[in-house]
Structure formats: structure tokens, C-alpha cells
Amino acid sequence: MKRVVSVSLGASSGDFTRNMVLNGSSIEVSRVGCNGDMELAAATIEKLDGNVDAIGLGGIDIYLRVGGEQYIIGDGLRLAQHATVSPVVDGSGLKETLERTTVKTMLRNGDVHPGSKVLMVSALDRFGMAEALVDAGCDCKFGDLIFNMKIDYPLTTLDELKDLARKYRSRLLTVPFRMLYPTGSAQNERAGDTKYAHYFHEADIVAGDRHLILRHMPQEMHGKIILTNTTRPETVTELKSAGVRTLVTTTPDLDGVSGGTNLMEAAVVALTEKPLADITREDYVEWCERLSWQGEKHVLN
């Protein structure tokens, strides 16, 4: 049996282990949350190294892939380097594939249309989704500066995003990741202020990272469409209570759990049995089709 593990900086309360059959192969997938503790995450990776077929890194990226460039997140790379035998992935390869496809499906279904007002809470970590939304003709506001850096300045073009990534690239190597993105218990905190509520109110669609959306969204989200990644039952309940009309997830439900793209990518890496460096974007597309992995739409209200 193949075995893949997601080592996450998120809370351990979301941990799970499932045995599943993917493309005829038995595979054990599990998640180990490290509650934002980088040292624990590093130790966990070291312990798993060589004993599992692939490791996913959750709650942190190793790379930002923006406009054809790849920028390193220092903390993410340093964590990944604690494994020397098992491949470590952050889900960015699969995320790119799944999120573009999901936006295209939304366009076909009429959930997205030219002129849709979109608030994407952060786009540098999912540039593929940002590009797909812009290509669909959406009127986008990208909240990377607002929600990651507390700078009240929405970016509105892909070029601005590319410019930000390029200028900030050396800082990405050294700035502690927790200063840019909530880790551990901070993921469950709610900002509780109304400073940025108007960005949510103005949008038809709120897209991007689940933690950032939940952290900053106002209590009233009546009629909105949410496009986000991994979604757990408690998240669905929270969004439903806020009045969200439709939830579109970029990843499918896997046997009752929402594994996250890092875990799914680790599973693909294990199944392909190819060296990580040889796995292409086309491979991810092919495997997503083979496994029928696609986004899901949930009508909540």
C-alpha cells in the first residue's frame, strides 16, 4: 500500500487518516497538523522521510508561481529540505490545474460571467485562479496587500501582482511566514473588525484561501458565491449561516474529508512513480481527469 501524509501548519483538530483506492492502487492518506509549530513540522517531516511515498506541505507554500516565474517562500523551502528521500510537494502544481478548470466550469454554468465583481483575498498563492478569473472577464480586486500585509490597497491587474511578487521576492526568503499568513490556532481567529467589510459587500464572488476568507468576512454574506479550497463541514455551516448562496470548492470531497491540494498532489506523485522533477503540468491534468478530481458546487441558500 502506498502512503502519503500532509504535514500541515494548521490545527491538529483537522487530522485524519483514510484508506482509499485511487486508479486501482490502495493508498493511505493522512494529515498531521502541527498547530503552527515549525519545529514540530520539521521533526515530523524528518520522521516520515523515507517511510512514506510522498509528503504534502500544508498551510504553507514552498513556491509562488506567478506569471511564469517561481518565487521561493523561505520558511516553506527550509521545511521541505528536512526530507531528503521522500518527495515533498506544496500542492501548487495541482492547485494551478484544478483552480483554472473550476473557474472554466463556473463560466460554463453561469456562476461566473464577464463583469462579475470578484474579491480574491489573495492571488499570489493561486495565480492560476487569478488568471482564469481575469480571462473570464471578471472585474477583480486582489487582496494580497490588504489581507496578508494589512495595507488597504486592492490590486486590480495581473501586472500589479507580478510587480509585487518581483519586488518582494527577496523578502519572501526571510520574512517569517506566520507574519504573512495565519498558522496554527491563528487560522481559527476572526478579525472581528469591519474595516475591510466593504470589499466583501461589493463583490459577487469571493475567492481564494479559506482561512483568509473566514478570518475577514463580515457576518452578512447574503447571496455571495464563495470559491475556495479545502472545505470542512464546520466551514460549510459557517458560510451557510452567513447567507452565502453558493460554495464552489476547487477540490473534491475525498471519502468524507477535504484533503487539500498538497495531500492530493502528494497522492498523484506517489501514483505516478515518476521523479518529482519529471512530473509536468500535463501529468497533473491527466491524473485529475483519470481520478475524476474536479471542483464541486454546493448550493447553500
Partner 1 sequence: MSTNEELSHSLRTFADDCNGNEKLRVMNRDWNRIIHIHADDTQADYTLTSNDGTVVYSEGAPPTCDLRVSATCEILTQVFYGEVSPNEPYNEGTLRVDGSEDDVLRLDFITAMLWEE
Residues that bind partner 1 (CB under 8 A): 145, 149-153, 166-171, 174-175, 179
C-alpha to C-alpha distance for 118 and 207, rounded to whole angstroms: 7
Nearer CB in complex with partner 1: 108/167: 167
Give the Cβ contact number of residue 139 at 10 Å.
15
Closest approach of partner 1 to the CB of residue 70, in Å: 17
Closest approach of partner 1 to the CB of residue 176, in Å: 8
Nearer CB in complex with partner 1: 45/123: 123
Nearer CB in complex with partner 1: 166/232: 166
Going from the C-alpha of 204 to that of each of 142, 211, 223, 227, 248, the distances in angstroms are 14, 19, 8, 11, 13
Q: What is the dihedral of CA 187, 188, 191, 192, to 10 degrees?
A: 170
Nearer CB in complex with partner 1: 174/292: 174
Closest approach of partner 1 to the CB of residue 184, in Å: 16
Nearer CB in complex with partner 1: 113/195: 195
Closest approach of partner 1 to the CB of residue 196, in Å: 12
C-alpha to C-alpha distance for 297 and 150, rounded to whole angstroms: 31
Closest approach of partner 1 to the CB of residue 133, in Å: 23
Closest approach of partner 1 to the CB of residue 126, in Å: 21
- In this structure, which amino acid lies at residue 282? E
The closest of 73, 71, 12 to 41, measured between CA atoms, is: 12
Closest approach of partner 1 to the CB of residue 68, in Å: 17
The closest of 143, 105, 112, 110 to 126, measured between CA atoms, is: 143
Nearer CB in complex with partner 1: 145/191: 145
C-alpha to C-alpha distance for 233 and 256, rounded to whole angstroms: 9
C-alpha to C-alpha distance for 122 and 98, rounded to whole angstroms: 17
Nearer CB in complex with partner 1: 52/164: 164
The closest of 50, 49, 76 to 65, measured between CA atoms, is: 76
CB–CB of 283/268 below 8 Å? yes
C-alpha to C-alpha distance for 68 and 73, rounded to whole angstroms: 16
Nearer CB in complex with partner 1: 16/168: 168
C-alpha to C-alpha distance for 256 and 239, rounded to whole angstroms: 18
Closest approach of partner 1 to the CB of residue 186, in Å: 13
C-alpha to C-alpha distance for 183 and 188, rounded to whole angstroms: 9
